[in-house]
Structure 1
Amino acid sequence: MEDLKKMYRTIVGDHFPEEIKITFGDTTLTYRKRTWKIKDEKTGEVVERGLRYGENPDQEAALYELVGGNLVLGGCEFIGPGEGLVSAITEEDMLQFGKHPGKINLTDVDNSLNILKFLSRKPACVIVKHNNPCGVAYGENIEEAFVRAFRADRIAAFGGAIALNRPVDKACAEAINEHYFEVLAAPEYEEGALEILKKRKNLRIIRIRRIDELESYWQRRFVDFKSLIDGGLIIQQSQINKIRSPEDLKPAVCVHEGREYRCRREPDSRELEDMIFGWAVEMGVTSNSVLFVKEGATVAIGTGEQDRVGVTEIAIFKAYTKYADLLCYDRHGIPYKQLELEIKKGQRPASQKEEIDAETKAARAGLPGSVMVSDAFFPFRDAVDVAIAQGITAIVQPGGSLRDWESIEACNEADPPVAMMFTGQRAFKH
């Protein structure tokens, strides 16, 4: 076991070249390996190091920044040199190396920015774990944004990566410092904030200078590579979020067997705002996915399932689990699972769990009034029915199913009726 623990803290050297060149017809893109000069913990000597390791401690890995070449294909101009975010982090930006960053730490930050770039108009926080968001929220200030995102899924956020779109102040730093995280990224840190954050010695604290310019990346595409096990590649354009405002949404209308089906109820202004917010979050979630959002914060996020009703049921289960855990944590200062264990051991009365379970059931885990977001159309109405039973009031989804009429009927048959809008865009992410 000691050897395993040592592996997790060891910086693995890599044999990848200092420079990579990829030629697309007449255009060559040049990538330079990113390394940092750090002080060796044992010797005190300044050494140059790249990534700690890849997805696992026995995988070499390297980070590359695009430094040359401007690619234009089919009229699409891709992101060019000098626009780096995570790939452009320097020693000066790595305010605390912590255990030294590995591949997962930086890809989690990258996906946080992928969501955060759509949320620039208000203070916002994205917490990512294993490349999926745990909690995402707006706030009146950056501390409130963090607290709301954290409380959306306190369990999954443990050891996650935080990205914020406003400078970290002392109040936000104190709130973050109460819990364990692996990485924190922000555009800047106000006076006194770093001293608080550095009490967590293993926390990687990163300044990403272009976070305040993230919205300019909204319409910019990058070349998205997928490596195959045979050494081959699939290359695609990165996706662009086409939903900027309520005007970009489409009414849920379809024709089936000569009859027009239309949602009877239109979403109100709050629901429309949550649709825009939820679709922005959806762009960073592994498909098949369904999530629930309310008042500018995620309620529950279901990720990466093979069937839509299944991921809807998982998202609902997670909502109940997280709601009960948060009640337990606020009331007793311990996780819900620990409460269960202590009751089993006779250390606490069973009534404590019974009260929490009853409150969670009565509140339906905070789902009533929330907006359901689906990254693809509903092939059947079953997922819609399951969500409506939990009190959701509106749905946003791409539309385009042969059975759209069934989902529209489910919304119209609900009491009260549920609003639905189409995006006209699928948001799969694999």
Structure 2
Amino acid sequence: MPDLAPVKRALLSVSDKTGLVDLGKALVGHGVELLSTGGTAKALRDAGLEVRDVAEVTGFPEMMDGRVKTLHPVVHGGLLALRDNDDHVASMTEHDIGGIDLVVVNLYPFEETVAKGAAYDEVIENIDIGGPAMIRSAAKNHGFVNVIVDTEDYAPFVEELAANSGQTTYALRQRLAQTAYARTAAYDTAVSTWMAAAVGGTPRRRSFGGTLAQTLRYGENPHQQAAFYTDGLGAPGLATATQHQGKELSYNNINDTDAAFALISEFAPADGPACAIIKHANPCGVATGATLAQAYSRAFDCDRTSAFGGIIALNQPLDGETAEAISGIFTEVVIAPGADDDARAVFAAKKNLRLLTTTGLADPAAASLAVRQVAGGWLVQDRDVGRITADDLKVVTKKQPTDQEMSDLLFAWTVAKHVKSNAIIYVKDGATVGVGAGQMSRVDSTRIAARKAQDMADVMGLPAPLTQGSVVASDAFFPFADGLITAAEAGATALIQPGGSMRDDDVIAAADEAGLAMVFTGMRHFRH
């Protein structure tokens, strides 16, 4: 296996023409013969470069609307032949197969086609066949052949040619081959994932892939290595957001900001301003308001202590007034569907604050997968997109919720979906006033949320706890009446929960005795 291998002949076939002409000129400058197809050949010729059509080499024209053009022994023989194997060399001579030392291919834009919502047949037509075949052939024979699938590798490749008199090192060819296999794996993953959703059912095999977006300084803790990969589908969110200022995002920033964005996307901008503040992937304050600044203020008042160093998500473009309010404490990240000049000017003085803007909010009902690795495999499920309306609720107590209570119950239920189990959320007038998250006992979550509400009332100098006159959401059923009684003692007047416990009758009786209204959703929102 040679360390240095010459590049004498290259086949270029790309859908993304970025940097193509400069690469072509550099190759010609090193005496490399160019083979190409279709639009790639035209772009090179238009730049004044001499190009030989693949059809001329194979003796077969492109056919079947371009589906068949490089799937030929002359192409794949030229890629797969071992140059130091006498039998392979003899076959090349016998069948007039010239060696191909470099393949430059980027694939049909499958992911982009899916992202724009194309119809089934159009998506199928954007599944590349010849490209992956050439990439895999070249990568397998990386002892002699170079393969480039990313435009980012053009410049390093040209530098290597220049440094080695038109040759490349084995180390570079190995690295390019690994990148190539990862690309075809990610491409096939995108195709199989899309088709699994289109066809339905539970596929026998699953694969997951992505493209490196960022190497992170470390993971959850400094001793853990980490990186951020994107799926290339272009949906609004963290992966496609624009960062306007601040330090590089950390692993925990990305995790928490994604949680914040998922929650705030539940609140349609047309329904009015909303704000969510997240700490360690849990909401510590969520509220609506007449203005974005008011929504932030009300969310902040739920738990001012936890909000310090948190993540703030807004459902409308950030304005100057809201930016001024946010600037009052240290905040790690602010994410919103846009930010005006006044807001950006305010944040410019906060060098460490990261401001991210998105092209819009996520669709909270959009189907996608939630994936978690376990020892020896993966757990895969549909993302929790369950939503309810007032018509879905069953009132199970003698007392009926008022209109305001019903509105707050639905708000609390929406927030509960984004709080780690066991989750208890107190809400009053469209704002959380107490959040209990991640406890092993549901009654403990109820107590913690109430205690935090009392602490905030003390800080604000209020005579009664914030939970007085509130409603309560529980992400799963109350197994006993103790959690409900604790909520009543904190001043709650209505509750929303899935129901379904063996002791539902006892819990309902306790609610009636306490004079509470309670509704069942028939839906659970565990979040582990």
TM-score for both structures, normalised by structure 2: 0.60
Tell me how far apart the structure 1 counterparts of residues 332 and 460 of structure 2 sit (CA, whole Å): 21
CA drift of 1:26 comes to 7.9
Task: Find out whether 1:397 has 2:520 as its counterpart.
Answer: no
> 1:103 and 1:147 mapped to 2: Cα distance?
27
Tell me the SS of whatever aligns to 2:341. coil
Q: Check whether the contact 2:213–2:228 (CA below 8 A) recurs between aligned residues.
A: yes
**Counterpart residue number, 1:166:** 316
For residue 275 of structure 1, what is the aligned residue in structure 2?
A: 409
**Which of 194, 198, 214 pairs up with 2:344?**
194
Aligned to 1:156: 306
Selected match of 2:239 from 71, 74, 87 = 87
Cα contact 2:261–2:335 (8 A) shared by 1: no
CA offsets per residue over residues 353-382 of structure 1, 9 Å max, x none?
A: xxxxxx5xx41x121210011010011101
Q: CA deviation at 1:53?
A: 2.5
Structure 1 residue 112, shift from structure 2 partner: 1.1
Q: Deviations over 1:56-79 (max 9, x none)?
A: 122221222212xxxxxxxxxxxx
For 1:222, the equivalent position in structure 2 comes to 368
The residue that corresponds to 1:420 in the other structure is 518
Identity %: 38
Partner of 1:99: 247
Determine the C-alpha separation between the residues in 1 that align with 2:345 and 2:455: 35
How far did 1:30 drift? Answer: 4.3
- Equivalence for 1:288: 422
The C-alpha deviation readout for 1:274-318, integer Å capped at 9, x for no partner, is: 111111111110001111000000000000111111211111111
Please tell me whether the aligned partners of residues 236 and 358 of structure 2 are also in contact (alpha carbons under 8 angstroms). no
Cα RMSD for the two superposed structures: 2.0
What amino acid maps onto 1:394 in structure 2? Answer: A
Distance 2:223 2:442 in 1: 35
Match of 1:249 among 393, 401, 416: 393
Deviation at 1:251, TM superposition (A): 2.1
In the TM superposition, what are the counterparts of 1:6-405 in structure 2 within 5 Å?
21=186, 22=189, 30-35=209-214, 50-67=215-232, 81-89=233-241, 93-96=242-245, 98-120=246-268, 121-211=271-361, 214=362, 217-228=363-374, 230-243=375-388, 245-252=389-396, 263-327=397-461, 359=462, 362-363=463-464, 365-405=465-505
Q: 1:326: how far off? A: 3.3
Aligned to 1:152, the other structure's residue is in SS state coil
Cross-structure match for 2:119: none
Superposed CA deviations along residues 4-33 of structure 1, whole A, max 9, x for unmatched, are xxxxxxxxxxx9977563466588664212
Specify the code of the residue in structure 2 equivalent to 1:94: Q
For the 8 Å contact 1:242–1:248, the answer to whether it is kept is no
In 2: Cα distance, 1:407 partner to 1:28 partner: 45
User: Structure 1 residue 191: deviation in Å?
Assistant: 2.0
- CA distance in 2: counterparts of 1:231 and 1:170, whole angstroms: 50
Structure 1 distance, partners of 2:315, 2:507, is 36
Larger RCO (CA within 8 A; separation ≥ 6) = 1
3-state DSSP class of the match of 2:380? strand
The answer as to whether partners of 1:241 and 1:280 remain within 8 angstroms in 2 is: no
Letter in 2 for 1:232: G
Deviates most, 394-403 or 305-314: 305-314
Count residues in correspondence. 333
Deviations for 1:223-268, whole angstroms, at most 9, x for unmatched residues?
A: 111122x34221111111221x21121222xxxxxxxxxx111101
Shift of 1:396: 0.2
Report SS of the residue matched to 2:387: coil
Consecutive unaligned residues of structure 2, counting only runs of 5 or more, are 1-174, 193-202
**TM-score normalised per structure 1:** 0.74
Q: Residue 418 of structure 2 aligns to a residue in which SS?
A: coil
2:459 is paired with a residue whose SS is helix
Q: Which amino acid aligns with 2:318?
A: V
Deviations 1:154-205 (A, max 9, x none): 0000000000011111111110111110001111111221111121111011
Query: 1:323 aligns to what SS in structure 2?
Result: helix
Q: For 1:209, what is the secondary structure of its paired residue?
A: coil
**What is the rounded CA distance, in whole Å, between the counterparts of 1:126 and 1:400 in structure 2?**
30
- Distance across 2 between alignment mates of 1:313 and 1:29: 41
1:339 maps to which residue? none
Gap change, CA 1:52 and 1:84, over 3 Å in 2: farther
Within 2, Cα distance between the matches of 1:225 and 1:174? 38
Bigger Rg, which one: 2
- The answer as to whether partners of 2:293 and 2:325 remain within 8 angstroms in 1 is yes
User: For residue 335 of structure 1, what is the aligned residue in structure 2?
Assistant: none
**How far apart are residue 84 of structure 1 and its match?**
4.4
Q: Give the drift of 1:218.
A: 2.1
8 Å Cα contact 1:65/1:84 also seen in 2:
no
Name the SS for the 1:295 alignment partner: coil
Runs (4+) of structure 1 exceeding 3 A deviation are 15-20, 22-30
2:258 aligned partner, one-letter code: D
Which 5+ residue runs of structure 1 have no aligned equivalent? Answer: 1-14, 36-49, 68-80, 253-262, 328-358
